């Protein structure tokens, strides 16, 4: 039996490999296009009942979109506080959330069903990241899930999160500089008060603002109007008090400067009269 040269055999094997790979690509059915949509969420404050209601509505919408799809979806709801967390895989109702954590500061909901109209839903709520993302083969269904979820969660907004705390810190620094600057034109207790308040405003940056104004907070009680806007009321009240105090110190500085000028003019007039006499 004649031997086939090694080079010719290697070339023949390469040609067969390329042809088989090409046939597999041609025979493979085309995959449906995958769409993705996402929405960034504001700082949120809600109760266990409200969180359970939002998750239940999202699940109902996703299950309705995937009616008739093959396979069993994988779902999980992670709830935690600080460095501790608990993952729920069976029940996502209010009782299960209360049993997991009485107060939570991060929530992660995941839904996965491959090759479906809505194949993936990811709800991430934490201090630094608050996002709702969905993917799937049906663009309208994917956009509907994101639009509905962001609208439902948007009603639970509050003041908090890293961006709001940074804005508040910058305002406190500006107020501290203003108070210290106004203090140079004052005398007596007003100068001491302006210096103390200015330095105190600077040191207030090290207070636990991340606990007072978190990006996400899930509480046991129903979040009423006062609970929703208590951080906003506190911030507005503090800002108004500092502004009023700064304005009053500014007026006192103007009055002190005006009195000093009047005293200087009176002294000059008195000196002129005495020199004339």
Give the pTM.
0.67
pLDDT of residue 238: 67
In a domain, 276, yes or no: no
Continuous segment of H or E residues that includes residue 109: strand 106-112
**242 part of a folded domain:** yes
Structural domain includes residue 230:
yes
The pLDDT, as a whole number, for residue 30 is 46
Torsion of CA 91, 95, 101, 107, to 10 degrees: 50
Domain-embedded: residue 22? no
Q: What is the pLDDT of residue 23?
A: 47
145 with 248, same domain? no
Q: Is residue 274 in some structural domain?
A: no
Task: Provide the number of structural domains found in the chain.
Answer: 2
29 within domain boundaries: no
- Element spanning 74, H or E: strand 74-81
Question: How confident is the model at residue 52, as a pLDDT?
Answer: 92
Q: What is the pLDDT of residue 38?
A: 94
Residues 42 and 89 in one domain: yes
What is the C-alpha R_g of the chain? 33
35 beta partners: 136
- What pLDDT sits at residue 145? 94
The boundaries of the domain holding residue 74 are 35-154
Which residues of the chain, if any, have pLDDT below 50? 1, 4, 23, 25-30
Report yes or no on 17 lying in a domain.
no
Asked if residue 123 is part of any domain, the answer here is yes
Among 154, 180, 197, the domain-final residue is 154
End-of-domain residue from the set 105, 124, 154? 154
């Amino acid at each position: 039996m004649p031997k086939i040269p090694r080079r010719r055999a290697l070339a023949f094997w390469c040609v067969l490999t390329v042809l088989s790979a090409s046939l597999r690509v041609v025979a493979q059915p085309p995959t449906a296009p995958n769409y993705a949509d996402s929405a960034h969420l504001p700082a949120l404050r809600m109760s266990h009942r409200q969180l359970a209601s939002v998750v239940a509505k999202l699940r109902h919408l996703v299950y309705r979109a995937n009616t008739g799809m093959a396979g069993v979806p994988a779902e999980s709801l992670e709830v935690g506080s600080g460095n501790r967390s608990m993952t729920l895989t069976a029940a996502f109702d209010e009782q299960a959330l209360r049993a997991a954590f009485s107060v939570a500061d991060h929530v992660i909901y995941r839904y996965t069903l491959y090759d479906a109209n809505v194949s993936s839903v990811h709800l991430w709520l934490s201090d630094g990241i608050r996002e709702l993302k969905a993917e799937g083969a049906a663009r309208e269904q994917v956009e509907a899930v994101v639009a509905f979820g962001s609208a439902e969660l948007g009603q639970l907004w509050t003041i908090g999160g890293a961006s709001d705390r940074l804005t508040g810190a910058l305002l406190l620094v500006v107020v501290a500089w203003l108070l210290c600057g106004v203090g140079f034109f004052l005398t007596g207790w007003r100068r001491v008060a302006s210096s103390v308040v200015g330095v105190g405003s600077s040191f207030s940056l090290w207070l636990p603002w991340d606990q007072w104004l978190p990006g996400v907070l899930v509480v046991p009680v129903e979040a009423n109007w006062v609970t929703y806007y208590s951080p906003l009321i506190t911030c507005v009240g503090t800002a108004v008090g500092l502004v009023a105090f700064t304005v009053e110190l500014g007026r006192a500085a103007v009055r002190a400067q005006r009195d000093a000028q009047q005293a200087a003019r009176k002294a000059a007039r008195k000196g002129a009269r005495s020199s004339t006499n």
